[in-house]
Copies of this chain bind each other. A is one copy, B any other.
Amino acid sequence: MKENGRSGQADLLAVLAAGLVAHLGVVVDGHPMVVPTVYGFDDERIFLHGSVASRSLATGDAGEVCVTVTVLDGLVLARSVFEHGINYRSAMIYGVPVPVTEPGDLLHGLRRLTEHVAPGQWDYARQPSRKELAATTLLAVPLTEASVKISDGPPDDGAGPDAALGLWAGRLPLISRWGDPVPDPLLPAGIAPPPHIAGRAGEAVGG
């Protein structure tokens, strides 16, 4: 943590809990590449599927990565175009990814990854077979070097000369919710979504 304090760590974990997709930045042959990916985390590490970065990992060129998780909370609409902006929460984690190979730790990381986006699915769905585990590359990046940025609040020009323009100013919130589950067309009739899925319909994300 740049802030190196307990509140910094709490802020970081809160952003990771609120986000759904991370953007993984790697350097490949000197060029940056930014790839969206799901993630999971515990108090010490963020977990990513190795497949997402395999091209660079395969060449041994991965080195340090930057994992950024962003939650967009809304727009800041000011009286002047110049003061417009967004409210968001963002975490940037820097580190060298470590492959997770120890079987118990691999299961732990995969469970975190699944449960982060789909709580309840690890126990409901069929868990990975030995063959599937052998085909899975899971990467962990320590949470030790990270920074959190939170932008919140109203526009900045309410007390300045532009206030005299008489224009409306404020925030336009963005709200993400889970919709109604859509069954697989191949699903036989009579199989209803379990409560941990059906119960999410309408639930807000990122709060």
What range describes how many residues of A lie at the interface?
A: 35 or more
Identical chains in the assembly: 2
Residues of B close to A66: CB separation below 8 A: 25, 31-34
Residues of B close to A177: CB separation below 8 A: 174-177
Residues of B close to A179: CB separation below 8 A: 74, 172-175
Contact A118 B169 (CB under 8 A): no
Contact A81 B110 (CB under 8 A): yes
Residues of B close to A158: CB separation below 8 A: 184-187
Residues of B close to A192: CB separation below 8 A: 168
Residues of B close to A118: CB separation below 8 A: 75, 77, 84, 172
Residue ranges of A at the interface with B (Cβ–Cβ < 8 Å): 20-21, 23-27, 30-36, 38, 63-68, 70, 72, 74-75, 77-82, 84-86, 88, 90, 92, 94, 110, 114, 117-118, 121-122, 124-129, 132, 136, 154-155, 158-159, 162-163, 165-188, 191-194, 197, 200, 205
Besides the known contacts A27-B27, A31-B66, A169-B187, 10 further A-B residue pairs in the complex with CB atoms under 8 A apart: A26-B32, A32-B65, A74-B178, A77-B181, A79-B126, A158-B185, A159-B186, A166-B191, A170-B182, A172-B200
